[in-house]
Structures are given as structure tokens and as C-alpha cells.
Structure 1
Amino acid sequence: MQDRWNAFMPYPDANVGHAATGPLSGLRLAVKDLFDVAGYPTAAGNAVLLAASGIKTSTAPLVQTLLDAGARFVGKTNTDELAYSLLGGNLHFGMPKNPRDPDLIPGGSSSGSAVAVAAGLADLGLGTDTSGSVRLPAAINGLIGWRPTHGSLDIGALRPLAPSFDVPGFMTRSLEPMAAVMSAVGMPEADDRPSSILIPEDVFEIIDDAIADEMIAGLRSAAMPIREAGSIGSFSLDELALAFVTILQKEAWESNRALFERSPQAISPDIAARLLAGSRLCEEEVHEARRVREHFSREIDRLFGEDAIVAVPTLAMRPPRRDAPPESHATFRSACIKLLCLSGLSGRPQLAFPIAGSDRRISFSLIGGRSTDRALVNVAKRLRFE
């Protein structure tokens, strides 16, 4: 395979079998290099981990489920180092190129899986989503991105970052293969359509007015009841983002402490700085962040107890250029986390998809109640966005 986008890790090919028939037959599968695949190493975007990995002798259960459903493995994909970024860069293995606009970042950390699908090198991109690492690159590359209900998919043989947020996730070019993937991995059938779509005004206020108006107009085209609320909860988006980042940094440090203490020089400076920030958090800060998460989760439970779906933008602002200064990248990451943290804190599923007529450059999202993942696809089909 010719990979001029740097989507795939440069590993020698190994034979990875798949079922001859099944619901995913004919679909090519690209797997983020955080999942074990027999015959390949697992580097997690870090050269020291690659050197220590060895060739794996077994395949992650979720990957095996996809292979047993007929998907054909085409390679392991590039990832931000330790899956700890949203930009798509990697000091060791390079930043994949955004096929839609090579001047822009591809988004991460599931950068390679997103680029492989966007470039037509794969049909299914398997990634992970902790703080938006599936939804954000899907949005930037004009793809469908699915963050499942937390805990609903097998995470065996998957290298963790922040376990209380980590989930496997998928990217596709259209809704049909995404629906097939949800079925293949055992997501429950969707019940009747939701009673309403909720628009939280505080969320839409942080994005461009024209884009917000376009999204809301698209919602009204679905012929479903629309409700508006002043806010998504009692906490501000800044407070929610702070709680999310606090827990993320603490758990990321715990997941990577051994690597950091053994080989600190082998970790990119920006990643190392975030790990160190997590090591310095006091227990009171982490406790308060977890209290905010629990309270917000209860508030979201009340929302979804009314059988509603929450509509939100996927991105807070236009993605920066690859060569933009670090400050621009940091501003983009911080702004987007205010939106991306909502499903992470609540553990609820989120489906991101592009709006039709916008050259697939505007991404919209639906957040549902627990285990309503397939209902999100059904609602997205009703919306005149794709």
C-alpha cells in the first residue's frame, strides 16, 4: 500500500486472518497502534515502548471481534505519543498529513486512523477516545466519529491513558458502515426515536454565530421536537473542562509514571510537561474534580431521563495550521476540550458527523443516554446534514 499521508506505522506486513463472510465483509480496517495485533509490535507512539514491545502473539479482543465479523486488517496506524494530545503530531514518527487540507493539523490522537479513512486507504478507522481523540480528528477530516458509551466495548490488550475516560472508538466516511460496526460489536438495538433534541445555549454561544445558526437550522429540519435550555448543567463549561483536565492529568501520570521515571528523555517535551503537571496535583484538587464529575453526571442523567438527545458542535473553532506556533495549538486544544469533555465526564455516547453543503468542514454532534449509541445513528440519518 502506498501511504503518502504517513497514516500507518512502517511495520513489516504480517498475516492477520479474518472471516470470509460477515457483517463487515469487504471493509478494510485500520487499527490505532495502541491495540495489540498478533504479528505486530505496539508502540503507542513512543520509540522506547516500541523497542520494548516485541512482536505480539495475540490480538486485542475488540480487534478480533471485527476480524471475525469479516473486516480485513490493513495496518496499524500512527498516534500522538502515548495518545496524549489532540493535535496529531508525533516527534518520533511524524505528523500524518490531513488529506482534505495538508496545511492543517490532522487532529489526534487517533490521527493515523482518521487520515487512513479520509484518504480512502481504509473504510473503518479504529481509534481511542479519552478527551476527544476520535471525535476531533473525525471532525477535522470530514468523517463520522463515534465515542461509545463508556465501558460498553472490550478494552483488553489496549494501552491505557486515563482509564475512567478511555474508550475505543471508530471513524467512517458515512453512516452505513458505522451502523454496521455498532451492530458487529454488540451495541443494543435502538428503541423508538428520542422524544426531543435539546439545544444547550451556553454550548452554542462559544462558537461562531453563523455556524451555530446553520446547525440549529439543520436540527429543525428533522421534524423532531426541539427544546432549548440555558445551559447543559449547573457548572460552566470552564469549570467542567478544568475538572476533566485535572482527572485526565492525574490518571495519565499514573498510567505512564513507570515510563517517565525510567526514560524521561524518551518522551516529547510537551507530553512530559503534561505528565509532570499530573504528578504535582494534590489529592484535594483531584477529589474536587471527581465531585464535579459526579454531580454533572447526575444532572445529565436527569436530562436523559426525559429521553432526550443533546445537540452540540464538535469543535469550538477552526483547526490551526500544522506550522502554527505552539500557542495557537494550545488555544485550539483548550477551546475544544470545553465541548469534548461533556461526554467524557458523563460517560455518554457521542456521534460526530459533518453537515452537508459545508464542504464537510463543519462537524455536528449528538450525545445520548447510556447505551443509546445506535439511536444516535438513526437520528443522524433523519437530520438533513449528511
Structure 2
Amino acid sequence: MQDRWNAFMPYPDVDVGHASTGPLSGLRVAVKDLFDVAGYPTAAGNAAVLAASGIKRATAPLVQTLLDAGACFVGKTNTDELAYSLIGGNVHFGMPRNPRDPDLIPGGSSSGSAVAVAAGLADIGLGTDTSGSVRLPAAINGLVGWRPTHGSLDNRALRPLAPSFDVPGFMTRSLEPMAAVMSALGMPPANDRPISILIPEDIFETIDGAIADEMIASFGSSAMPIRRTDAIASFSLADLAVAFITILQKEAWESNKTLFERSPDAIAPDIAARLRAGSRLADEEVREARRIRALFSGEIDRLLCGNVVVAFPTLASNPPTRDAGPESFAAFRSACIKLLCLSGLSGCPQAAFPIASRAGSVSLSLFGARRTDRMLVNVAMQLSICVKEQMPSKKVNTNS
């Protein structure tokens, strides 16, 4: 397979068997290099981790479930170092190239899996999502992205970053294969109770007004009731982001402390700086962040208990170019984390998917109660159909 997008790790090919029939038969799966696959090392985007890895003798149970369902393994994919970024860069193995717009970042940390799917090199991209590492690259590459209910999928033989936020996640080019993946993984079926869509004004105020108005207008053509609320929670988005980052940094330090102390020079400076920040956090800061998380999670449970789906944009700003400076990357990460942290703090599922707009394709997210993963995809299908019907059709030139 020719990989001009740098989506895959440069490992020698190993035959990884899969079932000849099954619900995912005929679909190719690209696996982020955080999951163990028999016959391959696991580098987690770091040269020192690669050197110490050795060849794995067993495959991560979640990957094996996909193979047993008929999916064909096509390779292990590039990732941000230690899965600790949202940009998609890697000083050891290079930044994958965004097939949708090669001038833009691919997004991370599941950069290679997103690029493999967007480039048509895979049908299913398996990644991980801690602070948005599936949803953000899915949005940038025009894909469907699914962050599952926390704890609903098997995460054994998966290298951790921040365990209380980490989840395996998936990307596909359309909603139908995502629904097939959910079914193959045994996600509970959607209930048939009436659904209402909730629009949080504080979130839509963070994005371009014209795009926000168009997104909201697209909901009106659906048969689902629409409700509005001033804010998604009693906490500001900024306060929630601070609490999230505090817990993330603390757990990321704990997950990577041994590597950092043994090989500090083997970690990129920006990643090392975030790890150091986690090591210096006071216990009181972390306790307060976890208190906010518990209170927010309770508020979200009450908000979503009546078959409510929250709709909001996936990204808070346009992605920077791949040659932008560290300040641009930091500003983009900071803006987006205010929206991406909501699923992590609550443990609830989120589905991101592209919708057509007059400004081009934009990414919309649906956020629901725990274990409503399949319902989110069903609602996304309904909204996608409504948006397509609203868009003006292209005129056909009959003079040629």
C-alpha cells in the first residue's frame, strides 16, 4: 500500500488474520499505535517507547473483536507523541498530511487513523479520545467521529494517557459504517422514545455567528422538538476547561512518570513541558478539579435524563495551517478544549459528523446520556438527511 500521507507507522507488514465473514466483512481497519497488535511493536509516537516495546505476542481485545467481526487490518497508524496533543505533529515520525486540505494540520492525537480513512486507505479508523483526539481530527478531515460512553469498550492492551478520560474511539467516512461498528461491538440499541434537541446558547456564542445560525436553522426541518438553554451547566466553559486540564495533566504525569524520569530527552519539549506541569500540581488543585467534575457530571445526568440530545459545533475555531507557530497551535487547542472537555468530564458519548453548509462542510456534534451512543448516530442520520434536503441543488448544464 502506498502511503503518501504518512498515515501509517513504517513497520514491516505482518499477516494479521481476520474472520472471513461477519458484520464488518469487507471493511479495512487502521489501528492507532497505542493498541497492541500481535507481530507489531507499540510505540505510542515515541522513539524510546518503541525501542523498549518489543514485538507484541497478543492483540488488544477490542482490536480482536473487530477482526472477529470480519474487519481486515491494514496497519498501525501515526499518533501525536504519547497521544498528548490535538495538533497531529510528531517530532519522531512526522506529521501526517491532511487529505482534505494538505495545508492544514490533520488534528490529533489520532492523526494517522483519521488521515488513513480520509485518504481512502481504510474504512474504519480506530483511535483513542482523551481530550478530543478522535472528534477533532474527524472534524478537520471531514469524517464521522465517535467518542463512546466512558468505560463501555474494552481498553486492555491500550497504552494509557489519562485513564479517567481515555476511551477508544472510531472514525468513518459516513454514518452507516459507524452504525455497523457500534452494532458489531455490542452497543445497546437505541430506544424509540421521542427525542428533543437542546441548543446551549453559551456554546454557540463561541463560533462564527453565520455558521451558528445555519446550524441551528438545520435543526428546524427535523421532526424533533428544539429547546434552548442559556448555558449547558452552572459552570462556565472556561472553568470546566481548567478543571479538565488539571485532571488531564495530573494523570498524564502519572502515566508517563517512569518514561520521563528514565528518558527526559526522548520526549519533545512541548510534551515534556506539559508533563512537568502535571508533576507540579498541588493536591488541592486536583481535588478541586475533581469536585467540579463530579458536580458537572451530576448536572449533565439530570439534563439528559429525558431523552435529550445536546447539539453543538465540534470545533470552536478553524484549524491552523501545519506550518503555523506554537502560539497558533496553543490558541487553537485552548479554544477547542472548552467544547471537547464536556464529554470527558461527564463520561457521556459524543458523535461528530460533517454537515453541508453554504460555507462548506462543517462538523456538528451530538452529545447524549450514557449508553445512548447508537441513538446519537440515528439522530445524526436524520439531521443529515434534513440538511441535504434544505441545501439548494446544483443546476445541471443542459447546453453541453
TM-score by length of 1: 0.99
The answer for the alignment partner of 2:331 in structure 1 is 331
Deviation at 1:304, TM superposition (A): 1.0
- CA pair 60-245 structure 1, distance change in 2 beyond 3 A: same
What CA distance in whole angstroms lies between the structure 2 residues aligned with 1:359 and 1:28? 32
Q: Is this contact kept in 2: 1:153–1:168, CA < 8 A?
A: yes
TM-aligned CA deviation for residue 358 of structure 1: 5.2
Give 1:105 shift: 0.2
Distance 1:74 1:250 in 2: 35
Name stretches of at least 5 consecutive residues in structure 2 with no aligned partner: 389-400
Which residue in the other structure is 2:76 paired with? 76
CA distance in 2, matches of 1:348, 1:209: 27
Offset, 1:269: 0.2
Instruction: Supply the distance in 1 between the matched residues of 2:244 and 2:200 (Cα, whole angstroms).
Output: 19
2-side partners of 1:109 and 1:14: how far apart? 24
* 8 Å CA contact 2:214, 2:357 repeated in 1: no
User: Match for residue 173 of structure 1?
Assistant: 173
Counterpart of 2:249 in structure 1 is 249
Q: Matches of 2:195 and 2:131 in 1, distance apart?
A: 28
Is residue 281 of structure 2 the alignment partner of residue 287 of structure 1?
Answer: no
- CA-to-aligned-CA distance 1:271-306 (integer Å, 9 cap, x gap): 000000000000000000000000000000111112
User: In the alignment, which residue of structure 2 is the partner of 1:67?
Assistant: 67
Aligned identity (percent) is 80
Paired residues for 1:344-363 under 5 Å:
344-357=344-357, 361-363=361-363
Distance, in Å, in 2 between the alignment partners of 1:155 and 1:112 is 19
Alignment of 1:109-258 (within 5 A): 109-258=109-258
CA gap 1:194/1:262 in 2 versus in 1, 3 angstroms: farther
Offset from partner CA, 1:207-245 (integer Å, 9 cap, x none): 100110111011112121000000000000000000000
- Separation in structure 1 between the aligned mates of residue 256 and residue 378 of structure 2, nearest angstrom: 39
Question: Quick check: 1:84–1:161 contact (8 Å CA) kept in 2?
Answer: yes
Quote how far apart the aligned CAs of 1:190 are.
Answer: 0.5
The aligned counterpart of 1:10 is 10
Q: Within 2, Cα distance between the matches of 1:240 and 1:375?
A: 26
Give the match for residue 99 of structure 2.
Answer: 99
Measured against aligned partners, the alpha-carbon deviations of 1:53-74 in whole angstroms (never above 9, x if no partner) come to 0110000000000000000000
Count, aligned residues:
386
Partner of 1:33: 33
Matching residue's letter, 2:18: H
Instruction: Output aligned runs, 1:259-278, within 5 Å.
Output: 259-278=259-278
Go from structure 1 to structure 2 and tell me whether the alpha carbon gap of 1:199 and 1:79 turns closer, same or farther (over 3 Å shift): same
The aligned residue for residue 58 of structure 2 is: 58
CA contact (8 A) 1:61 1:156 kept: yes
Question: How large is the RMSD of aligned CA atoms in angstroms?
Answer: 0.9
For residues 358 and 33 of structure 1, do their structure 2 counterparts lie closer, same or farther at Cα, with a shift above 3 Å needed?
farther
Distance in 2 (CA, whole Å) between partners of 1:360 and 1:189 is: 32
Code of the residue aligned with 1:344 in structure 2: it is G
How far is 1:195 from its partner?
Answer: 2.8
Structure 1: state its 5+ residue gaps.
Answer: none
Distance 1:360 1:287 in 2: 43
C-alpha distance in 2 between matches for 1:333 and 1:206: 14
